[in-house]
Amino acid sequence: MKDRPLYAISIVAEMLNIHPQTLRQYERCELIKPSRTIGNVRLYSEEDIEKLKFIITLTRDMGVNLAGVEVILKMRQQMEEMRQQMEQMLDFIRKNIPNKQKKDEQILEINPSNTVIKVKIERE
């Protein structure tokens, strides 16, 4: 993370064509949380800048107020968390379903007549 560029408030304000006070307001509303130096200077990461672009699109282009932006950002975060949980579940399924199918095939090899066999299933 040390190699990633960080930008001062004046640079970010110029990049995004907004007033530095707007950035401070976004921070007061807890929409963005830039890192700080030992001297308390705000430093914005590329991720912060992408988030700010999204906030600006919502406010300028779509007319969303800051309270609405806060709700949207929270929902966006929740959606990302759910996406990650779904990925974890899919990974689990991908890892375990082939094993189950293989075990089922082995049972059929042992019992080709397909009669009922009681099998103790062990959880991994």
Residue-wise pLDDT tens digits, 63-109: 999 999 999 999 999 999 999 998 888 888 777 777 766 666 665 56
pLDDT of the residue at 105: 63
Q: Work out how many domains the chain is built from and give that number.
A: 1
pLDDT of the residue at 49: 97
- 102: its two tokens: 């293989």
Give the CATH number for residue 56: 1.10.1660.10
pLDDT of the residue at 93: 78
Is 33 inside any structural domain? Answer: yes
Is 112 inside any structural domain? Answer: no
Is 110 inside any structural domain? Answer: no
For residue 19, what are the domain limits? 7-81
Is 75 inside any structural domain? Answer: yes
Q: Backbone phi, then psi, for 71, in 5-degree steps?
A: -65, -45
Cα–Cα distance measured from residue 50 to residue 45, given in angstroms and rounded to the nearest whole number = 9
Is 63 inside any structural domain? Answer: yes
Is 107 inside any structural domain? Answer: no
- The yes-or-no verdict on residue 119 having pLDDT over 70 is no
